[in-house]
Structure 1
Amino acid sequence: MRQRFRIGIMGTAKGPHIQALAKALQNTGAEVILVPPQRLTSFIPEPATIITGSDGYRENLRELDALLVRSLPGGSLEQVIYRVDVLHRLEKLGLKVINRAVVLEKTVDKFYTSALLGDAGLPVPRTVVTESFEQAMEGVKKMGRVVVKPLFGSLGTGMVLVEDQEVAYRVFRALELGRYVYYLQEFLPHNNEDYRLFVVGGEVISTMRRRGETWKTNIACGAVAEYVEPDPVLSRLALKTAELLGADYLGVDILISNGQPYIIEANGIPGWTGLQSVTPVKIADVLADYTVRQLQSGINKD
């Protein structure tokens, strides 16, 4: 008799990815439990973390078979760290978490991601990260045109192209007032296009090319998605990235400059609205099937 798995999705009900994933999981026969990250309550020494509702609803997360993380919303430093700590604890208590907390820690922080990839010999843009205004200015002097990015963020929000010392001075002084870290990457000419490769379970399941009217190629910034067959070279880079980070699934962004591919981002909670609009692959179904297979393989091993 086929076991009916109880699978949690961490996020809010209104999220389109969560709705698609919930439907896909239900189609496999799984029971889906929504896990709002703001409603986590943990107990010590009892090995328990629950979610609660205003109507008295309680759900012990240890009773789930798996938890798919689709949202870790911003908040205070304490709130963000606590939510990630809960994921670490649940894993240690035996819950299958996708993606694992360590993967999210590696991918939510652009510096950490770039350092891990670069130190492993994977191609990334030249990057300078510093809290020093003087070192940031020196980085512009050495690299010329640079893209200034927030350490945390997505969808292209907050990225600025700096092309001369005067603009750099004004931008960096403004960032200094907010106590931000300077994250600078050398601007690489890329014909206003790049590639998003979606990896699930060690396989590139689909790829799109994104074409922008400016250097920003994010769909949220107006770029247009186009389905392309996965390129073998780019696929190998994406799979190496997922393997290095230990990700069950991952969105990997790669641009090509002067014939050389560069990994510019790896997202541990990747969206797929743009990709889904151009690919025949049902991404939510693939992710749901992968999750169920992981649980079934665990039963078979036992």
Structure 2
Amino acid sequence: MARLAVLGRRASWHVAQIALACGRRGVECDVLPVQAIAAAVGDGGRSSGVRAGGTPLDAYDAVLVRALPAGSLEQVVFRMDALHRLARHGVRVVNHPAALERTVDKFYTSALLEEAGIPTPATRVVQGFAEAMEAFLAMGDVVLKPLFGSEGRGMVRLADPDTAYRVLRAWEGIGAVFYMQEFVPHGGRDVRALVVGGEVVAAIERRAEGWKTNVAAGGRAVPFALPAGWADLAVRAAAAVGAEHAGVDLLPAPGGRVLVHEVNGIPGWRGLQQATGVDVADVLVGHVLGRRRAV
């Protein structure tokens, strides 16, 4: 029997979906908390020496990462180091820890997209208030985003100098990095494409009354048939960050352009699944374990 370790929370809807998909396929699925990762060195290289809750992670056919919880700098670095050690010892970790590092960091993602020739909104990343105000005044209408974060949490649109001054001063006070992306008029609509194994398995258009379209922030999801060029763009974006599965956000822009403004390496798919009927967990488990979809 194949064995899959899922690093995440038992109470998570996504983890529950993965467990159900494993059950239908006859796959043993163990849910283990990332916070319980521990490691040992000095066994002569006989194993990866990485455990979670006392369970050796190299005993599984694959490890699927469904959560990277916040923690101290030491905790976060250790967890990633442990995942890298697993991968170096031949354990299949999805997404690969290098891809997780790239996608959890918006600057890293944006830089890789540009280097791969993938169109993305103009972005400025600075560390000081004066530089942030200068960048805002140069662009005029921006979305200020936490460098780390997802589901639209913490994003602020700045179009007024007085408001920008107050918000940027507040961010300065907490020692934040200022990641500022040009606001692209989109009529309250964008597209989320889910890529698994180099293919788009489903896509939705996200609609909202305001400028935030994230389903977690109140946006509505409807099925969307991706034009071939858009699907290719999504697949290329996932490949640019080395992600085997990813949620790629596509932004139709004025002049017929299509921009990639985010790649999520631990994507949510609840709204997408409800809108399209695609059993994403089954597709994902099949990909991770190298099997076809369950009948």
TM range (shorter): over 0.9
Bigger mean CA offset, 131-140 vs 269-278: 131-140
User: What is residue 31 of structure 2 aligned with on the other side?
Assistant: 34
Question: Matched residues in 2 for 1:198 and 1:51: separation?
Answer: 29
Q: Deviations over 1:104-136 (max 9, x none)?
A: 000000011001101222111110000021111
User: What is residue 185 of structure 1 aligned with on the other side?
Assistant: 181
User: What is residue 84 of structure 2 aligned with on the other side?
Assistant: 88
User: What is residue 73 of structure 1 aligned with on the other side?
Assistant: 69
SS in 1 for 2:184: coil
User: What is residue 133 of structure 2 aligned with on the other side?
Assistant: 137
- 1:115 equivalenced with 2:115 (yes/no): no
Shift of 1:243: 1.4
Please show how residues 8-23 of structure 1 align to structure 2 within 5 Å: 8-23=5-20
Please show how residues 79-228 of structure 1 align to structure 2 within 5 Å: 79-228=75-224
SS in 1 for 2:90: coil
Code of the residue aligned with 1:22 in structure 2: it is A
Code of the residue aligned with 2:268 in structure 1: it is G
Give the one of 257, 260, 264 matched to 1:267.
264
Under a length normalisation based on structure 2, what TM-score does the superposition of the two structures give? 0.95
SS in 2 for 1:277: helix
Under a length normalisation based on structure 1, what TM-score does the superposition of the two structures give? 0.93
Q: Deviations over 1:233-261 (max 9, x none)?
A: 21111010111112110100011111211
SS in 2 for 1:293: coil
Give the one of 219, 242, 253 matched to 1:246.
242
8 Å Cα contact 1:147-1:162 kept in structure 2 = yes
Identity of aligned residues (%): 45
- 1:48 equivalenced with 2:49 (yes/no): yes
Code of the residue aligned with 1:242 in structure 2: it is A
Question: Matched residues in 1 for 2:229 and 2:50: separation?
Answer: 43
8 Å Cα contact 1:256-1:262 kept in structure 2 = yes
User: What is residue 289 of structure 2 aligned with on the other side?
Assistant: 292
Shift of 1:294: 6.7
Q: What runs of 5+ residues in structure 1 fail to find an aligned partner?
A: 53-57, 296-302
Bigger mean CA offset, 228-237 vs 87-96: 228-237
SS in 2 for 1:213: coil
Shift of 1:85: 0.9
SS in 2 for 1:253: strand
Code of the residue aligned with 2:113 in structure 1: it is L
Q: CA RMSD in A?
A: 1.2
Dislocated runs of 4+, deviation >6 Å:
none
Q: How many residues matched?
A: 287
